[in-house]
Amino acid sequence: MSLDATYTREIPLVEGKTSFREIDDVIARPTETKPNIKWFIAIGISSTALLIGAVCLGLTFWYGVGLWGNNQPVGWAFDIINFVFWIGIGHAGTLISAILFLFRQKWRTGIARFAEGMTIFAVMTAGIFPAIHTGRPWLDGYLFPYPNQHGLWVNFTSPLLWDVFAVSTYFTVSFVFWFIGLIPDFATLRDRTTSGIKKAIYTALSLGWRGSNRHWQHYERVYLILAGLSTPLVLSVHTIVSFDFAVSVIPGWHTTIFPPYFVAGAIFSGFGMVSTVLIIVRKVFDMEHIITVNTLEKMNKILLATGTIVGYAYAMEFFIAWYSGNPIEQFTFINRAFGPYSWAYWIMFSCNVFFPQLFWFKKIRRSIPITFVLVLLVNVGMWFERYVIIVTSLTRDYLPSSWGMYFPTMYDFGILLGSFGMFFTLVLLFAKTMPVVAMSEIKAVTEGAQPSHKHKHE
């Protein structure tokens, strides 16, 4: 037998032979020890950013959205760019936790919990933007169909309303999915902790979970169904976000490629963000043998695949503009690449299409520093993708007499900075207070965790 089975053998997910106790010790350590100086520096930076964003938002509430750079014709600007950017970030988490679960990709276990947490924080951050975009966010209750004194209902034919339902459903379902996954781990923490207040909190959150197999039986089925429900849900959310654009008549937006193009872009940007944060977290919390290089390499492969899909979509947009014979559409795309915002277009194109192609090389895929630089570029590129789509199409649509330019103000940048601050503050608090890796799932995939059923043959 010259053919060796090791070629197809799965690489062990957890490096080295680790006992269950050790897994608990490593994963629970951030929740049980005082955070180190690195953590305080990180949360200092992120909460400062959050504070700057909060001040800018407060000023916006006081003086109105006139503080922003939005103008006529650019009614959608940083507010909607940031919304689409953050909601896209969230999609990677659901993809990792739900779609890869359905495909039985066991390598997801090391990063699934973290990615789910990021989904929730990203959707929370995203949710702020359409709310403040309305101008008077304290009246946003009108977005929901409820019996009101005007006797009016919402417009069910508008994609903007579909968005309200899609994003709120997405948040709710992601949240319960995340919480269900956390229950067994909360029980583990409850039984480990030596502090009364932590014990009280984890006791309440774990609902009295005791690892009963009569519970696991129903629990695993619900987890499977939730994964099955989340999969079409995550695809529908970014499809509906793309409908906000595609259902309008603005040149460059009114195209049928938008739903798949947006979904691929969302997964691409989300994986970029998950990698960015994971690379930091595995260093800060010493989890290199649980969030392994193999896992990061697999994520880089997904980045390569989705980045190429995004590149294909960029090319196809140009082709269809030419093929349609519609002069307005053709102008829009030439204007994107060579008009006043061509700098943004080429930032987007190089960050999203050129640089991820480096992941074809195995050495680069497995190099943590290069991966870190490339995923940062992906984050930048995907933010600029939304900038290009929104700003180039709105500044120059049909009539040249109604063309304009868009210049963001310091308040726009402040709120953008604040959104990053909010996201990273939540991520850091999450990493400090909750198990960032699913302990019960990791244990189930370590070597020797499942019965060999040898005794049957006795």
Partner 1 sequence: MIGKILKKLDDKFLKGEPRTGELFAVAALFDTPDQIIHAAEKVSGAGYKKFDVLTPYPVHGMDGAMNLKPTGIGWVGLIAGMSGTFLAFLMIWWMVGINYPNIFGGKPYFNLPASIPIMFELTVLLSALTLVGSLIALFMKLPANANPLMDTDFVKRVTSDKFGIYIEAKDPKFKLEEVRTMFEGLGSTSVSNIHEAEYDLGDTKNPLLNGKFIGALLGTSVAVVGITYFVLNVLLFLPPFDWMHRQPKVLPQTESKFFKDGFSMRKPVEGTVARGFMPYEFKGMPDSLVVITPNPLPVTQKVLDLGKKRYDSYCSPCHGFYGKGDSRLRGQFPVPPTLHSVKVTNWKDANIYHVITNGQNTMPSYASSISRDDRWAIIHYLRVLQRSANAPDSDLETK
Restricting to residues 7-46, which ones interact with partner 1 according to CB under 8 A?
A: 19-21, 24
Residue 22 to residue 20: CA distance in whole angstroms: 5
Least distance between partner 1 and beta carbon 440 (Å): 4
Question: 301-332: string of b/e by CB count within 10 Å (b at 16+)?
Answer: ebbbbbbbbbbebbeebeeebeeeeeeebbbb
Is residue 203 at the binding interface for partner 1, with CB under 8 A as the rule? yes
Nearest Cα neighbor of 318 from 257, 386, 266 is 257
Is residue 325 at the binding interface for partner 1, with CB under 8 A as the rule? no
| Contact yes or no for 270/117 (Cβ under 8 A) | no
| Contact yes or no for 345/386 (Cβ under 8 A) | no
Q: For 355, which DSSP code? A: G
Residue 266 to residue 254: CA distance in whole angstroms: 19
Residues numbered 133-192 forming contacts with partner 1, rule: CB under 8 A: 136, 138, 145, 151-153, 155-159, 161-162, 165-166, 169, 172-173, 176-177, 179-180, 184, 187-188, 190-192
In whole angstroms, how far apart are CA 64 and each of 56, 67, 193, 428?
11, 7, 48, 32
Least distance between partner 1 and beta carbon 8 (Å): 21
Contacts (Cβ under 8 Å, ≥6 apart) of 113: 97, 178, 181, 182, 185, 435, 436, 437, 438, 441
Least distance between partner 1 and beta carbon 241 (Å): 11
Residue 204 to residue 229: CA distance in whole angstroms: 27
- Contact residue for partner 1 among 3, 5, 37, 197 (CB under 8 A): 197
- Contact residue for partner 1 among 35, 47, 54, 61 (CB under 8 A): 61
Residues numbered 209-238 forming contacts with partner 1, rule: CB under 8 A: 209-222, 225-226, 229-230, 232-233, 236
Least distance between partner 1 and beta carbon 235 (Å): 10
* Residue whose CB is less far from partner 1, 59 or 376: 59
Is residue 318 at the binding interface for partner 1, with CB under 8 A as the rule? no
Least distance between partner 1 and beta carbon 438 (Å): 9
Using DSSP's 3-state secondary structure scheme, residue 5 falls into helix
Residue 268 to residue 263: CA distance in whole angstroms: 9
- Contact residue for partner 1 among 62, 363, 401, 457 (CB under 8 A): 62
Residues numbered 413-452 forming contacts with partner 1, rule: CB under 8 A: 439-441, 443-444, 448-452
Considering CB under 8 A, how many residues would be counted as binding partner 1? Answer: 81
Least distance between partner 1 and beta carbon 153 (Å): 4
Residue type, 385: E
In whole angstroms, how far apart are CA 50 and each of 83, 419, 422?
16, 7, 5
* Residue whose CB is less far from partner 1, 104 or 363: 104
* Residue whose CB is less far from partner 1, 145 or 340: 145
Residues numbered 107-136 forming contacts with partner 1, rule: CB under 8 A: 136
